[in-house]
């Protein structure tokens, strides 16, 4: 046995990388830390669009996350880059539109890495809805869905990627 652990890299993707994907990034990072797996699982987030590059997550996302004990204020928006398709093992879109955009950008040999984040959850939601123009508890709903999918994703990775 070599003693070298496999590293798993996860990329969360939404449109602008200021609401859903940084929330998913922060929540999943919290789950990784709680499980003691920071040495083997890495998470990042990006957007398919370029209009928020360098910006902090939306203040409503930061406030909702903070209320639940997640810190996402240190994250900065970036756009998906060609090297991401090679670098990451899981590239998880928050909705069908972003998944479609990723499919168009992704080289064929790496398309198996693309899926919807909510595919990992046992939920009535197939996508994480964009809260940007939402009303009421839209950011709370995002957190609920992201927490559920993060737990399920971590369990999946532990079984399928780290158990061997």
Q: Using CA atoms, how far apart are residues 136 and 55, in angstroms rounded to an integer? A: 24
pLDDT tens across 107-152, in order? 999 999 999 999 999 999 999 999 999 888 999 999 999 999 999 9
Region for residue 138 given its phi and psi (left: phi exceeds 0; alpha: psi -120 to 50; beta: otherwise): alpha
Which residues of the chain are modeled with pLDDT < 50?
1-3
Q: Please tell me the predicted confidence (pLDDT) of residue 102.
A: 98
Burial 16-35 (b: 16+ CB within 10 A, else e): bbbbbbbbbbbbbbbbbeee
Cα Rg, the chain, nearest whole Å: 15
Catalytic annotation present for 161: no
Catalytic annotation present for 106: no
Catalytic annotation present for 14: yes
Catalytic residue among 44, 58, 84, 130: 130
Give domain limits for the chain.
Answer: 8-154
Q: Please tell me the predicted confidence (pLDDT) of residue 1.
A: 39
At a CB cut-off of 8 Å and minimum separation 6, what does 115 contact? Answer: 90, 91, 92, 93, 99
Which H helix or E strand runs over 160? helix 138-160
CATH architecture of the region 8-154:
3-Layer(aba) Sandwich (3.40)
Q: What tokens were used for 157?
A: 């990775």
Q: Please tell me the predicted confidence (pLDDT) of residue 4.
A: 58
Q: Please tell me the predicted confidence (pLDDT) of residue 5.
A: 66
Mean pLDDT score of the chain:
95
pTM value surpassing 0.75 = yes
Catalytic residue among 14, 58, 78, 84: 14
Catalytic residue among 19, 20, 84, 95: 20
Q: Among 118, 128, 109, 120, which Cα is nearest to 161's? A: 120
Q: Among 48, 51, 72, which Cα is nearest to 150's? A: 72
């Amino acid at each position: 046995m070599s003693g070298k652990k496999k590293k798993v890299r996860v990329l969360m993707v939404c449109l602008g990388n200021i609401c859903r994907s940084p929330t998913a990034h922060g929540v999943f990072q919290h789950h990784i830390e709680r499980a003691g797996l920071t040495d083997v699982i890495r998470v990042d987030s990006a957007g398919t669009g370029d209009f928020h590059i360098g910006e902090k997550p939306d203040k409503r996302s930061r406030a909702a996350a903070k209320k639940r004990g997640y810190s996402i204020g240190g994250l900065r928006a970036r756009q998906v880059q060609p090297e991401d398709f090679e670098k990451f093992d899981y590239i998880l879109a928050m909705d069908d539109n972003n998944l479609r955009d990723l499919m168009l950008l992704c080289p064929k040999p790496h398309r198996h890495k693309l899926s919807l984040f909510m595919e990992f959850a046992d939920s009535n939601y197939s996508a994480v809805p964009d809260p940007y123009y939402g009303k009421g508890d839209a950011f709370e709903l995002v957190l609920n869905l992201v927490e559920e999918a993060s737990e399920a994703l971590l369990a999946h990775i532990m079984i399928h990627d780290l158990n061997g």
